[in-house]
Amino acid sequence: MFRSLLVANRGEIACRVMRTAQRMGIRCIAVFSEADANALHVDLADEAHPIGPAPARDSYLRADRIMAVARAAGAEAIHPGYGFLSENADFAEACAAAGIAFVGPPAAAIRAMGSKAESKALMVAAGVPVVPGYHGEDQAEDRLAAEASRIGFPVLIKASAGGGGKGMRPVLAAADFLDELAGARREAKGAFGDDRVLLERYLQKPRHVEVQVFADSHGHTIHLHTRDCSVQRRHQKVLEEAPAPDLAPALRERLHEAAIAAARAVGYVNAGTVEFIVEGEDAFFMEMNTRLQVEHPVTEMITGLDLVEWQLRVAAGEALPCREPPEASGHAVEVRLYAEDPAAEFRPSIGTLTRFFGPGQRQGVRMDTGVRAGDAITPHYDPMIAKVIAAAPDRRMALERLGGALAETQLGGLTSNLTFLRRLVAHPAMVAGELDTGFIARHAAALIPPPTEVPEQALAAFAAVYLERLRYDRQGASPWDSCFGFRLFGAGEELLLLRDDVRLRRVVMRRRRGTTDVTVDGGAPIAVAADLSAGLRASVNGVWHRVPFTLDGDVVALAFGGVDHTLRLVDPYAPIGGDAAAEGRLAAPIPGRVVQVLVAVGDRVARGQVVAILEAMKTELRITAPADGIVAHLGCAAGDSVEEGTEIVTLAPLDEGAAPA
């Protein structure tokens, strides 16, 4: 076995690989960008080396710098994790040339499966069914448009060189094809350096089912059962489970056989995943990911295996520990906790995790993460915070355990999909197993409901603990500094103005002899009390609640009754009209690069019209007009790099009675 291992990755997967390697007695070497100097994977490693600036292209994608560190540190093997260089055949060859074991498949297999078009041709030759489409080399617009018409709409445009939903666009009508083709090519070029695409028939209610395969260098190839990854947003997975539910035994066996045939067709070695589109009893090969998958923990939970250990042993030349697939036991479900805003089309968010803790130790529950409270989610990398996984004897119990684990998970300081995930795992259609790739869109009204007012009891509880915490922090200060409404006669009042997602809320706390009452928006008094001796707790009308919150500037992240709320503290003495003055200014929500500006000064625009496209955190964000208006000013141009808050477009109101063009 190797004595030293360099992990050419960051975040959750780097931590995951190191924990297994260190358990096996292997010295772990980390690499880190300037943005990750204080990251968890750096702290876990036995030694860590800087490799460049924050952007991945200048650090984690610099194979030359990583190889230099490997040679200097005496690494005997390199584990690429997933993403970055994990499916880069040139990097695998560079490892071999340097006499360093690459913990992954041979370069030839990576190349064969790295092109979706070439891999589909190989699968056809191997007898593996593929989705009807166009995989040719002629990439002229007119040829692609003609092929789309031949296939018939709706069609799916996919980047030929990569995965993860980048460069993937469904097109419902011929009139939209060229615009969507241009967008898919931009995404593909930015993500993979290759703007070639392929076309496929767009199935209406498909499931995304995949098979974990493993092969060694001694000629043995096995499957490790199925996973269902149908629940997606922006063609990227949100929830995965194993084994895939509700597959007919004959179909499941066909998938196992097709996956093994695919792996053998390219001389595969190590861990890989063969992905299929399943609709009814039909199953079509989609692609093969020549690496460990993000969702591998659900396979580990139902098999009792450590797939990273298997990877390391196979890379060291050992044979697979077994010749037949181990029996699957029970069911496992995983969700991906992201820094993103589901209400804003899952737009990535950035900021500091001011509070973050996961579920406590309990049977059948696991959390994989690469961050801690105090860490920053930056615009340079994928916004995944953690994976929360639960396993149980059956699927319903696994979902219940996962729901309990998510209820215990808390974070603050930035927008996340935590509340969305809690709704997702409890949704009746999820419990019933009614799965396909349109699940989230179909149930969006329940999963992403419109903004609601924060309940009065939550506001009262927050006021109690916030003001008590403020009083505690100021103990010993001058009474002239504390400003807590002291009066010689009558009751003192303390005022908080809070803005929730709907409106401004007025919270008034009145301290009387022996009691404290809170009124919210002039409603009935609510009796409250705060206790900081055992965390942040408040009594509301005699019932005690835990009220954890974080304050980042004027933004409050509050948890109450198992529900997360975001509020903004408003200064009652701030000038009036500050918000209104900025209504027409459309700013970059996060740092990124301007791909296109679609309007010019003087143009009339309609509410919802796309005025610019921003690329950030591996995603294209469409900046849309919040109301009808006229373009008054452009703050940037295509190709500009912008910071959060940078003006993109400023709109002026239409003249009274005018209509947008």
Instruction: State residue 398's pLDDT score.
Output: 98
Instruction: State residue 573's pLDDT score.
Output: 57
Confidence of residue 454 (pLDDT cuts 50, 70, 90): very high
Q: Give the C-alpha separation, 437 to 288, whole Å.
A: 18
Q: Give the C-alpha separation, 182 to 197, whole Å.
A: 10
Statement: residue 511 has pLDDT above 60: yes
DSSP result, 522-547? T---EEEEEE-BTBSEEEETTEEEE-
Q: φ and ψ at 220, to 5 degrees?
A: -105, 130
Tally Cβ neighbours within 10 Å of residue 544.
12
Q: Give the C-alpha separation, 530 to 472, whole Å.
A: 11
Most confident of 101-105, 473-477, 482-486: 101-105
| Phi-psi group of 280: left, alpha or beta (phi > 0 → left; psi -120 to 50 → alpha; rest → beta) | left
Helix, coil or strand: residue 418: helix
Statement: residue 484 has pLDDT above 60: no
CA-nearest of 173, 183, 229 to 440 is 229
Q: Say which range, 38-42, 356-360, 487-491, has the weakest mean pLDDT.
A: 487-491
Q: Give the C-alpha separation, 29 to 69, whole Å.
A: 9
Q: What is residue 186's DSSP assignment?
A: H
SS3 of 501-517: the string is: CCCEEEEEEEEECCEEE
Instruction: State residue 576's pLDDT score.
Output: 44
Return the residue matching tokens 């995943």: 273
| Over residues 5-10, mean pLDDT | 98
Cis link prior to 154 (omega < 30° from 0)?
Answer: yes
Q: Give the C-alpha separation, 349 to 417, whole Å.
A: 10
Q: Give the C-alpha separation, 461 to 454, whole Å.
A: 11
Helix, coil or strand: residue 146: helix
Q: Give the C-alpha separation, 50 to 320, whole Å.
A: 35
Q: Catalytic amino acids?
A: 291
CA of residue 316 relative to chain centroid, distance: 33
Task: Kindly report, residue by residue over 293-339, the tens digit of the pLDDT.
Answer: 999 999 999 999 999 999 999 999 999 999 999 999 999 999 999 99
| Over residues 34-41, mean pLDDT | 96
Percentage of the chain beyond pLDDT 90 is 64
Instruction: State residue 82's pLDDT score.
Output: 93
Q: Give the C-alpha separation, 406 to 418, whole Å.
A: 7
CB 583 within 8 A of CB 501: no
Where helices occur in 193-280 by DSSP H, the ranges are 249-265
Question: Where do the DSSP E strands lie in 280-398?
Answer: 282-289, 331-338, 340-341, 347-348, 351-352, 355-357, 365-369, 376-377, 384-392
Statement: residue 657 has pLDDT above 50: no
456-570, CATH topology level: Glycoprotein, Type 4 Pilin (3.30.700)
Statement: residue 543 has pLDDT above 50: yes
Extents of the domains making up the chain: 4-103, 132-201, 207-447, 456-570, 578-652
Q: What is residue 246's DSSP assignment?
A: S
| Greater pLDDT, 67 or 349 | 67
Instruction: State residue 492's pLDDT score.
Output: 63
CA-nearest of 161, 285, 279 to 211 is 285
Cis link prior to 660 (omega < 30° from 0)?
Answer: no
Statement: residue 463 has pLDDT above 60: yes
Confidence of residue 9 (pLDDT cuts 50, 70, 90): very high
Q: Give the C-alpha separation, 70 to 421, whole Å.
A: 39
4-103, CATH topology level: Rossmann fold (3.40.50)
pTM above 0.95, yes or no: no
CA-nearest of 661, 655, 584, 659 to 623 is 584
Q: Which H or E element spans position 632?
A: strand 629-634
Q: Which H or E element spans position 278?
A: strand 270-279
Confidence of residue 117 (pLDDT cuts 50, 70, 90): confident
Percentage of the chain beyond pLDDT 70 is 93
| Greater pLDDT, 458 or 127 | 458
Task: Kindly report, residue by residue over 549-583, the tens digit of the pLDDT.
Answer: 877 778 888 888 878 888 888 876 554 444 433 45
Q: Give the C-alpha separation, 82 to 128, whole Å.
A: 25
Average pLDDT, the chain: 89
| Over residues 237-259, mean pLDDT | 96
Where helices occur in 61-215 by DSSP H, the ranges are 63-73, 89-97, 107-114, 116-125, 141-151, 177-192
CA of residue 459 relative to chain centroid, distance: 30
Q: If you classify domain 578-652 with CATH, what class do you get? A: mainly beta
Burial degree of 175 (CB within 10 A; 0-12, 13-18, 19+): exposed
Query: What sign has the CA pseudo-torsion 184, 186, 190, 195?
Result: positive
Task: Kindly report, residue by residue over 376-426, the tens digit of the pLDDT.
Answer: 999 899 999 999 999 999 999 999 999 999 988 988 888 899 999 999 999
Q: Give the C-alpha separation, 461 to 565, whole Å.
A: 13
The reply to whether 207-447 and 578-652 are identical in fold is no
Choose which CATH entry (3.40.640.10, 3.30.470.20, 1.20.1270.360, 3.90.50.10) describes domain 207-447: 3.30.470.20
132-201, CATH topology level: Dna Ligase; domain 1 (3.30.1490)
Statement: residue 141 has pLDDT above 50: yes
In the chain, how long is the greatest CA-to-CA distance?
91
Q: What is residue 574's DSSP assignment?
A: S
Statement: residue 165 has pLDDT above 80: no
